[in-house]
Amino acid sequence: MMEPRNGPADVCLILEGSYPYVAGGVSSWMHDLIKSQPHLRFTIVALVATTTPKELRYELPPNVDEILRVPLAGPPRGGATFNVRWLTRQITPLLVAIEQDGGLPAFVGVVESLARSRRRLGSASLMNSPAAWEMITAMYEVAAPESSFLEYFWTWRALHGGLFATLLFPLPRARMYHTISTGYAGLVAARAAVETGRPAVLTEHGIYTNERRIEITMAEWLYDAAEDWLALETPRWDLRQLWMHTFQSYARICYEACTEITTLYMGNQRMQLADGAAPERLRIIPNGIDVAMYSKIERSTEPRRPCVALIGRVVPIKDIKTFIRAADALRRTVPDVEAWVLGPDDEDAEYAEECRNLVSYLKLEDTVKFLGRVKISEYLGRIDVLALTSISEAQPLVILEAGAAGVPSVATDVGACREMIEGPESEVPPLGHGGAVVGLSSPVATAEALSRLLTDRSWWERCSAAIRQRVDQSYNKAVIDRIYGDMYTRSIAAPDRTPAQFAKVG
């Protein structure tokens, strides 16, 4: 951990499972945001899965004063176990209320109850004591009496281990708090707002609750009793519902505690509203890119093969296999096409091997090339069309970076891709298509859209001009940085709020 400077930081950033220990995506955005505000001092609360040491993936900017790592596996053991039955009985109904949409007032009650004894509390007293057992069994009777108690027990420990971890660590002092998701990071922001009275703001790239819904629905480790599928009446509260509903409740707590709630595009904002965010606090701030730099990239004039490229990690969520199958279909109309995969392949070695085997099986060795991690700006001038086949995205910057260089995109209909490629409803006058949007896992449709752009020069030029102008007009990082700078200035200058103000929210 770095040594903190005297006095509170200007901004405390609260990050879960990302910067500065994970590269790419949100982490790169976060790194650039810090560098764009050199006049401000930052401290970072990094929520990580375990206590295992992690290596920094970024060279921290000089205006980062401190990093505080908080493992979500559970709180530290704490002091010697003492009689906490009075405390657990006090917070049990509040924890039940949180799971049942009690929102911020119930959370304030938990924060205030734990604050009185925080130095002595830990896993020994809140998770492994007779009083904790009494709390678990009481919550089970209310929340999931029809479910397996054993499965509920481990679900409770997973959910509340993370909750207690966020509530018991020493909170850094700051003039404002900025969380980059709801979930446990959102709870830290809500706690900070309640305990310090300073403003908390939220930026969501992907919607945390939606991502957890997908993970929980697909999770094989969550118990499903076979008889539940056959019963005429299913249990009123199975464990999957408990997981999903709890994270929804956490999101609502964060929304109610934050003074400003931003996201990248309208589709995300609709989900925030559905999860309980107040409309008057919502704002769309898209990600931006260095338009000046990418717009200077010149198109290669050397003789070469037509080239399509997927820029991204070789992992299942990017659906590299659909890109490979699309390349197979594409070479029927563009026989000499090259299909590049630009991105690291060391995150999921098994999946990367499956992708290489698929290339071999389809005899695409002369077409599909895995080029690894590269400097994208050195390749964009030789790429004719960008392809993005992901099954989930927020607002992928690669579409904007390619667009600023005049490269159209073919992308799946995920996240903000349609808004970036076809333009938002608010675009006046409409600039036209900057490529094409296709369905998920659609190699034939992807190939057809790529083929049209490679074989119809006038269509390519119209798409190139449209995406270049749209990026310059709406996604210029210099403008976006000023917007965030203004938000920070506004929050830092805001007066303190009192706990009574939070207790009335709902």
Q: What is the 3-state secondary structure (H, E, C) of 253-276?
A: HHHHHCCEEEECCHHHHHHHHHCC
Question: What does CATH list as the number for 291-474?
Answer: 3.40.50.2000
Sequential DSSP letters for 100-113 = TT-HHHHHHHHHHH
Which residue has 């197979």 as its token pair?
328
User: Which parts of the chain register pLDDT below 70?
Assistant: 1-5, 80-82, 217-238, 503-506
- The residue among 399, 439, 194, 430 whose CA lies nearest residue 312 is 399
Task: Give the whole-angstrom CA distance, residue 364 versus residue 195.
Answer: 59
Residue 71 to residues 45, 114, 250, 356, 427, Cα–Cα distance (Å): 10, 18, 18, 36, 44
- Which tokens sit at 80? 């010697």
Whole-number Å distance between alpha carbons of 21 and 505: 35
Task: Write out the E strands in 117-195.
Answer: 177-179
**In the chain, where are the structural domains located?**
291-474
Q: Looking at this protein, which amino acid is placed at residue 171?
A: L
**CA-to-CA dists, residue 359 to 228, 292, 312, 320, 366, angstroms:** 42, 37, 17, 11, 9
Looking at residue 221, what is its pLDDT?
A: 55
Nearest to 436 by CA among 460, 409, 465, 403: 409
* Alpha-carbon span 409 to 100, nearest angstrom: 43
SS3 content of the chain, % helix, strand, coil (to 5): 50, 15, 40
Cβ–Cβ under 8 Å, residues 102 and 140: no
The H or E element that residue 435 is part of is strand 435-438
Residue 420's closest CA among 443, 396, 453?
396
Q: For tokens 């009574």, what's the residue?
A: 500
Tell me the per-residue pLDDT of 315-328, one tens digit each, with 9 for 90 and over. 999 999 999 999 99
Q: What is the layout of strands, in order, in the sheet containing 11-16?
A: 64-71, 42-48, 11-16, 177-179, 200-204, 260-263, 282-284
pLDDT at residue number 3:
47
Please count the other Cβ atoms lying within 10 Å of the Cβ belonging to residue 381. 15
CA distance 370 to 380: 16
| pLDDT at residue 347, rounded to an integer | 87
pLDDT tens track for 178-208: 999 999 999 999 999 999 999 999 999 988 8
Taking residue 439's Cβ as centre, other Cβ atoms within 10 Å add up to 9
Length of the chain: 506
* pLDDT of amino acid 235: 47
Report the SS3 class of residue 393: coil
Q: What is the pLDDT of residue 228?
A: 47
Please name which of 187, 197, 198 lies closest in space to residue 160, comparing C-alpha atoms. 187
Is residue 395 classed exposed, middle or buried when 0-12, 13-18 and 19+ CB atoms within 10 A define those classes? buried
